[in-house]
Homo-oligomer: A and B are copies of this chain.
Amino acid sequence: MVGGHRCDEAIAGTARRVGALLAKAGATVVCGGLGGAMEAVCAGAKEAGGLTVGILPGEDKRAANPYVDIPLASGLGYTRNTLVVGCADIVIALPGEYGTLSEIAFALNGKKPVIGLGSWNIEGMRQVDTPEEAILLVKKLVRKNKTDR
Contacts and interface: CB of A to CB of B under 8 A. Distances in A.
Interface in A115-142: 122, 124
A101 B100 CA distance: 12
A76 interface: yes
A99 B124 CA distance: 13
A86 B70 CA distance: 13
Interface residues of A, number: 34
B72 A83 contact: yes
23 contacts: A53-B72, A55-B72, A59-B110, A70-B70, A72-B83, A72-B87, A73-B86, A73-B87, A75-B77, A75-B86, A76-B77, A76-B79, A78-B82, A78-B109, A97-B109, A98-B124, A99-B105, A101-B105, A101-B108, A101-B109, A101-B122, A102-B106, A102-B109
